[in-house]
Amino acid sequence: MTVKSLLPLIAATFVCGGSILVEARQLKSLAGVVKPTVSQPTQLQWKLFTAPDGRFSILMPGSPNRNTQSQKTYMGEINLEIFVAQPPKQQVAYIVTYNDFPYSYGQMADPQALLNNARDMALKTTKSNLISQRNIRSSNNHPGKEIEYINSGGKITKSRMYVAEGRLYQVMAITTKKQQKTLAKTITGYLNSFHVVLKK
């Protein structure tokens, strides 16, 4: 599956109070993915992926596909960087996105307000019900929020969002109920591996 065919299902940009959000859609294409057989277990090669600009690192199953989308906002044009990895024979997508805010806005905006806006928009645009949420901090103490929600099609998204140095990061795993049970530890490990690298 190419990133071009995946993006319409996974990623769309939305602006809410200056917050840009990636919408986790139905992931209908994942429903047709062949399930792994017992005789041929899927061996994934997880690797440390570092962003091209060096400002975050995370463990990903293989090399993610990259896409850039541009969104016009009242603050000016904002670019959304999207990184997507989809392991073969699994109904799951691992996604990292980020967008930079204009300097003045990034300095003035309340991080918790940005995180709350991103949460609210995620639930609204995906027509999902919130399962859980909690406030978190990045490994180097940037404010964040973890949310888990389920849409009407039964797809579960676990997302961690962070505001750091004028940038909103979103780290997500989108999967089915069945796969979510078997991949729970893997998804937690993936989310835990995300690290914001500070500007030098």
Residue 75: its pLDDT value, please? 64
pTM over 0.75: yes
Q: What is the pLDDT of residues 138-192, one digit of tens each?
A: 999 999 999 999 998 899 999 999 999 888 999 999 999 888 889 999 999 999 9
* Burial bucket for residue 197 (CB in 10 Å: 0-12, 13-18, 19+): middle
CB atoms inside a 10 Å sphere around CB 200: 4
The pLDDT confidence band at residue 198, using thresholds 50, 70 and 90, is confident
Q: What percent of the chain has pLDDT over 90?
A: 48
Q: What is the pLDDT of residues 60-78, one digit of tens each?
A: 998 999 999 887 766 677 8
| pLDDT(16) > 80 | no
| pLDDT(40) > 60 | no
Residue 74: its pLDDT value, please? 63
Residue 100: its pLDDT value, please? 87
Question: Shortest CA distance to 131 belongs to which of 111, 151, 160, 117?
Answer: 151
Q: What is the pLDDT of residues 70-126, one digit of tens each?
A: 877 666 778 889 999 999 888 899 999 998 887 666 566 788 988 998 899 889 888
| pLDDT(37) > 70 | no
Residue 200: its pLDDT value, please? 63
Token match 């400002």: residue? 55
Burial 138-176 (b: 16+ CB within 10 A, else e): beeebbbbbbbbbbeeebbbbbbbbbbebbbbbbbbbbb
Q: Which helix (H) or strand (E) holds 9?
A: helix 3-10
CA distance 54 to 200: 10
The pLDDT confidence band at residue 30, using thresholds 50, 70 and 90, is very low
Answer yes or no: are the C-beta atoms of 21 and 118 closer than 8 Å: yes
